Structure 1
Amino acid sequence: MLSRRGLLAGSALTLLAGCSSSEPAPGPPPVPAPTGPSPLRDPVTVQRMPSAARGTDVDLVLITPEGVPSSGLPVCLALHGRGARARTFLDLGVPSALTEAVRAGIPPFAVAALDGDHYWVDVGAGDDPQRMLTDEVPAWLAARDLRPPSAVFGISMGGFGALRFARAHPDLKAVATASAALFVSWPDARSRKVFSGEDNWRAEEPLLHTADLKAESLGIWCGDADPFLGADRKLVRAVNPAVAAFSPGKHEDAYWRGILPEVLKFLGQRLS
C-alpha cells in the first residue's frame, strides 16, 4: 500500500514532466555531433547521442554563458527529475540565469544536461545512467573542447542521482541538489516502483551512505512545503553541508526557478 507521503511525492514529481509529446521540444533542434574537438558555436546546443550504457539515444544539452568563449570551460552536469528530460533545464531558464550570473561576476562555466531515468542508477534493467555519466560523457565533452565534469546539480530524482555521482567522484568541486528525492525507509522507496529490491535501494540510497559525501562541496536546497523536506533535513543533519537552504516553496518549477541564481552562484564560485 502506498504511504500518504508516497502519494504526495508521486503527485508532486509529475510537475517536473516537462513538455508533453504533443508540444514542441524546448530549445533548438538537434545538430550533428562534432567529428573532432570543436568549440561550441551557440550558447545552447542540443545533440542526440547514442549511449551504450543506457542502451538508447539521449539528448545532450549544452549551455554556456552568452558572449563567453566555450573552449576549455569547466562543466557542471545537470540531472533532471522523474518524468522530465534534459531539455527541462531550458524550460527552467538555465541559459538566461547562467548568463546573468556570469555578468554579475561569477566565473564562467558550462552546464551539460542529459536524459536519465531510474533515479539515475542501475536497477538491473540494462540501463545504467551512472555509467553513462562516468564512462561516456567526458569524451562527449572533450569532443566539444570542454573539460570533464567537475560539478553536478540535480533536481528531485536528479538530486538522488547527483548524490550518487558524488559518492563515486569525491574529487568534484561542487554538488548541488534541489528538492532531492530521498527515502528514509524501504517502504517509502518501494512505493516509487523503481528499484529492483531492497538490496538495490540500500546500495544506492544517499541517506545510507552519507559518509561518502564531502560537506565542504555540498549545497542542499528544498522548499518548506516539499514532500521530501523531512528526508532532505535528515541529509543536512548527517552531512552538515556548506549550504543548507530551506525556504518557502513546493516541489514545482516556480520554486526551482526562484533558487536557480543561488545554485548557479554556489556552483560557479567553487568551479573557479
Structure 2
Amino acid sequence: MGKELSRRGFLAAGASVALTAAGCSADTPQPGPPAAPPPVKPAALTSAVTVERVVSAARNQTVDLVFMLPEGVSATDLPVCLALHGRGANARNFLTLGLPEALTRVVRDGTPPFAVVAIDGDHYWVETEPGDDPQRMLSQELPAWLSNRNLRQPSAVFGISMGAFGALRYARDHHDLRAATACSPALFTSWGDAKARKVFETREEWEANEPLRHLDELKPMPVGVWCGTSDPFVKAARKLAQGASPVDSAFAPGGHTDKYWKQVMPDIMAFTGRHLRG
C-alpha cells in the first residue's frame, strides 16, 4: 500500500513539474482556438470578366455581380458604367449579348476605357413586392461592393428593356451621372398600357416610377436612346427621345430581340465612353 501511494505521489509531482515548466499550473485554463481571421477583402480585378455572388439585404437574396473590363486594361481608376438587364434575364445576360467584346472593340478604336458592372434585378428595378427593393440595392449596397474591389462609383447607367426603365429611375436619384442610356426602353405611355403588362398594382405606384412622367428630373444629363423601329415599345422610345434633352437617339430596323441588342451594343458603348471622359 505504501509503495502504491508513493508511486501515485511521484506521478502527481511529475505532472506538476511539467505544467510549471510550461509556464502553467493545474488550475490555469488552457488556451482556446485562435481567433477567426478578419474577412478577406476581394482582390482587385484583373480579368476582363469576373462574376461574383453577393448577398443583398435590400433584395433579401443572393445575386450575381458581373464586372467587365476592356481586354488588356487595368481596372485602376477607370470610370464605371452600371448596366441593368431586361425582364426575364439576369446580369450574366450581358455576356451573351457581347458587351465585353463590344467594350474591347470600341476602346481599341479610340474610345477612352471604362468598366461596366451588371447586377441581378427584377420587378422593373423598383420595389413592387415588399422586401425586394432593387433601387435600394443599387443606391445603398452597390457602392460598398465597388469600393471593396477598388472600383469607382458609377458615372453612367445603361439599361435594356426593363433595365432601361430601371436605369432612368436610378438616374433620377443620381444627378452626378454623366450619361444615361436606354435601349429598347420598356416604358409605358399610359396607365392602361402599364396595367395591361401587369407590372404595377396601382396607378399611383406606376406614376411615381414611370420615367416618361419625370423627364424634367433627368435634365441636363445626356440621355441616349436606341430602339428598333419594329419594337413594340418604339412609341414610348420616341416620346423619351423627344422629351429628354439633351439626347442622342438612334432608330433603325430591328425588334425587341437579342439580335438587335448585339447589333447596337458597340454604338452604346462608344456613346457611354465619350460622355464618361468628356
TM-score by length of 2: 0.83
Query: What residue in structure 2 maps to residue 79 of structure 1?
Result: 84
Q: 1:116 — aligned with what?
A: 121
Instruction: Verify: 1:157 aligned to 2:162, yes or no.
Output: yes
Structure 1 residue 124: Cα displacement: 3.8
Decide which moves more: 155-164 or 37-46: 37-46
The residue that corresponds to 1:7 in the other structure is none
Please state whether the residue corresponding to 2:132 is helix, strand or coil.
Answer: coil
Query: Counterparts of 1:253-272 in structure 2 under 5 Å?
Result: 253-272=258-277
Q: CA deviation at 1:215?
A: 4.7
User: Do structure 1's residue 231 and structure 2's residue 236 form an aligned pair?
Assistant: yes
Q: Secondary structure at the match of 1:233?
A: helix
Deviation at 1:187, TM superposition (A): 1.3
Q: Is the Cα–Cα contact under 8 Å of residues 154 and 162 in structure 1 kept in the other structure?
A: yes
Match of 2:93 among 66, 88, 94: 88
The answer as to 2:65 corresponding to 1:60 is yes
Question: 2: CA distance between counterparts of 1:56 and 1:155?
Answer: 23
2:56 matched to which residue of 1?
51
Q: Cα offset for 1:195?
A: 1.4
Match of 1:45, SS?
A: strand
SS in 2 for 1:177: strand
1:246 CA displacement: 0.7
Runs (4+) off by over 2 Å: 34-38
Among candidates 130, 139, 142, match of residue 144 of structure 2? 139
What is the alpha-carbon distance in structure 2 between the residues aligned to residue 173 and residue 185 of structure 1? 29
Alignment root-mean-square deviation, CA: 1.2
SS at match of 1:199: helix
- Do residues 195 (structure 1) and 196 (structure 2) align? no
Cross-structure match for 1:249 = 254
1:64–1:95 Cα contact (<8 Å) kept: yes
Q: How many residues align?
A: 239
Report which of the two structures shows the higher radius of gyration computed on alpha carbons: 2
Distance (Å, rounded) in 1 between the aligned partners of 2:212 and 2:70: 34
Distance 1:254 1:36 in 2: 38
Change (3 A) 1:216 1:137: closer
**Residues 176-191 of structure 1: pairs in structure 2 closer than 5 A:** 176-191=181-196
Determine if contact 1:223/1:246 at 8 Å carries over to the other structure: yes
Tell me how far apart the structure 2 counterparts of residues 215 and 248 of structure 1 sit (CA, whole Å): 29
| Secondary structure of 1:57's aligned partner | strand
> In 2 relative to 1, CA 222–56 (structure 1 residues): closer, same or farther, beyond 3 Å?
same
The answer for the alignment partner of 2:227 in structure 1 is 222
For the residues of structure 2 that align with 1:240 and 1:211, how far apart are their CA atoms? 9
Tell me the distance in 1 between the aligned counterparts of 2:243 and 2:272: 22
What percentage of aligned pairs have identical amino acids? Answer: 58
CA distance in 2, matches of 1:35, 1:212: 40
Tell me how far apart the structure 1 counterparts of residues 179 and 196 of structure 2 sit (CA, whole Å): 31
Q: In the TM superposition, what is the alpha-carbon distance from 1:216 to its structure 2 partner?
A: 4.6
Match of 2:4 in 1: none
What does the per-residue CA deviation read over 1:32-70, in whole Å, with 9 as the maximum and x for residues that have no partner?
xx8326320211000001001111110000000111111
The structural deviation recorded for 1:142 is: 0.8
Q: Name which of structure 1's ranges 230-239 and 162-171 shifts more when overlaid on structure 2.
A: 230-239
State the Cα deviation string for residues 82-140 of structure 1 (Å, max 9, x = none).
00000000000111111111111111111101100000011142111011111111111
- Structure-1 separation of matches of 2:93 and 2:111: 23
- Quick one: which amino acid aligns to residue 176 of structure 1? T
Contact 1:53 1:127 in 2 (8 A): yes
State the one-letter code of the partner of 1:191: A
Q: Give the 5 Å matches for 1:9-24.
A: none
Task: For 2:99, give the aligned amino acid.
Answer: V
CA distance in 1, matches of 2:188, 2:104: 35
Consecutive unaligned residues in structure 1, runs of 5 or more: 1-33
